[in-house]
Amino acid sequence: MTDATVATQLIEHAGAVILATGAVGTAASALVDASRGLLPNGGVSACGYRHIRDVYDALEPALSVALGQSWEPVLRGYWLNGTPHEQQINTVIAMVRLGLNDDNPQALLDRLLNTSAPGVRLAAASETGGTPVEVASLKDAVRLIKNPPAPPSVEPDVAMTLEAVEPEVTRAEALRTQQAFDALGRFDALVRARLEAAFELAAHDYRAKARLSAAAVSLGLALACGAAFAYADDTVPEGVVFAGAAILGLLAVPLAPIAKDLTSTLRAASDALKTVTSKG
């Protein structure tokens, strides 16, 4: 047997090992994903939700008005089912808009800015130039949305009397309306920023814990296969078998997405080596 033949066999064997290792990683990831229906609270799907729940708790005064006291399971379901993040954020903002009333803007801002946390307070207006959103203007926006003003009806004989006053009144009302909707826009931006940051943290937490769980499962599968091999063939020392199984189990999840590509590359290299040796 020539050196080229040995090298070709080694390459083909390495490709088979990589493909099998990737299959173990894929199976482990599938088992972790399937655990959502068996484990309480959604299993690994619930990982990271705590970051989102913190923001939802801050928005509770509006969410409880819009969705009732059982609002949390409704929004939690979106996360567990993998609804796109942008869709979830837009839904929550719409529900907060729906739940705004004359009583909760101050509570919402206090919670979003964490002014009620122990040892934390919002700096005075003289220090920061004011809060990000004026509560009075936000309340005006809520009133305008829920009760839009009707166009004024003026009697013909009164029109001449109000002619000089009307421009000033109109300008004042227009300025107040603009301030109200500016405050609503800033409030929406504040809510969106908090939600987007929470979803980013939650996604990072979920990915890390899902991969860690899959790695633990793949390690268990590899060790189980190693035990079966050691039982069937006692010519190989058990320490070598279990050490190899542990290494392959730890590599299974990272290799799973690229196992086919690596195998194809090794197969191409083996074919090229065969071609060169046959011509030689």
The maximal CA–CA distance of the chain, rounded, in angstroms, is 115
Please report, for residues 34, 196, 219, 253, 254, the alpha-carbon distance to residue 212 in angstroms, rounded to integers and kept in the order given.
15, 24, 11, 9, 11
Looking at residue 128, what is its pLDDT?
42
Query: How confident is the model over 149-200, as pLDDT tens digits?
Result: 655 554 545 444 545 445 555 777 788 888 888 888 999 999 999 999 999 9
Domain count, the chain: 1
pLDDT band at 119, cuts 50/70/90?
Answer: very low
HSE-CB at 172 with a 13 A cutoff on CA atoms is 5
- Most confidently predicted of 114-123, 182-191, 228-237, 265-274: 182-191
* Residue 150, both tokens: 């009707």
Query: How confident is the model over 238-263, as pLDDT tens digits?
Result: 788 888 888 888 888 777 777 666 67
Query: Of how many residues is the chain composed?
Result: 280
pTM, full prediction: 0.70
Domain containing residue 77? 3-279
Query: How confident is the model over 48-92, as pLDDT tens digits?
Result: 899 999 999 999 999 999 999 999 999 998 998 889 999 999 999
* Residue 55, both tokens: 């923001």
> What is the mean predicted confidence (pLDDT) over 26-51?
79
Helix (H, G, I), strand (E, B) or coil at 39: coil
**Residue in this structure with the two tokens 């943290």, named with its chain if needed:** 201
The answer to whether residues 262 and 15 touch, using CB atoms and an 8 Å cutoff, is yes
